[in-house]
Amino acid sequence: MSISPYELSIPTFQRGFTVLTKLLDKAEAFAEEKKIKTDVLVNARLSPDMLALAGQIQRLSDTAKGAASRLTGTDAPSFPDDETTLADLRTRIAKTVSYLATVPESAFEGAAERTVVLKSRGQDVTYTGKDYLLTFALPNFYFHLTTAYAILRHNGVPVGKLDFLGRT
């Protein structure tokens, strides 16, 4: 038995957003306990030239919906990246998860062989659906999810590896 592009994308992304939601729950509880404004965490970053937590979540959303859209040849909704609060980010996550739920498994028929063209620094990069998923979408999704985790942990939020693995 092999693994389908659907299984590797929609349920993987849904699981990731469930993990992220629990990380944000812990961040919110931490902020409340320490009397820190949650804005501080939303704007926290690991390096001055890296995206803050808000940006990591916006790119996580875009990676997931971009993959669902490109692998099925259908349109995904566009979100304007205007989230500035934890509540806004939760809404972004909810909108992303709602969209993912509308993409049926049947739409992934032939996804591995589909031609996917990405713009990267002004140049077109052409992938097969399979290569796009394995070498761009999945690494990028986990990159932003891990970086969101790392930003919170770096700032003292008591999250651990079992949270990241969705085993809590």
- Per CB under 8 A, residues contacting its own copies are 1-5, 7-8, 11-12, 15, 46-47, 50, 112-113, 120-121, 125, 130, 133-136, 138-140, 142-143, 146-147, 149-150, 153-154, 156, 161-162, 164-167
Q: Supply the minimum distance, in Å, between the C-beta of residue 130 and its own copies.
A: 6
Q: Supply the minimum distance, in Å, between the C-beta of residue 151 and its own copies.
A: 9
Q: Which C-beta is closer to its own copies: that of 47 or that of 106?
A: 47
Q: Supply the minimum distance, in Å, between the C-beta of residue 152 and its own copies.
A: 10
Q: Supply the minimum distance, in Å, between the C-beta of residue 87 and its own copies.
A: 26
The secondary structure of 137-165 as a DSSP string is IHHHHHHHHHHHHHHHHHTT----HHHHT
Q: Which C-beta is closer to its own copies: that of 45 or that of 95?
A: 45
Report the distance separating Cα 103 and Cα 72, nearest Å: 8
Report the distance separating Cα 76 and Cα 58, nearest Å: 14
Q: Which C-beta is closer to its own copies: that of 26 or that of 130?
A: 130
Report the distance separating Cα 68 and Cα 141, nearest Å: 12
Tally Cβ neighbours within 10 Å of residue 115.
11
Tally Cβ neighbours within 10 Å of residue 92.
22
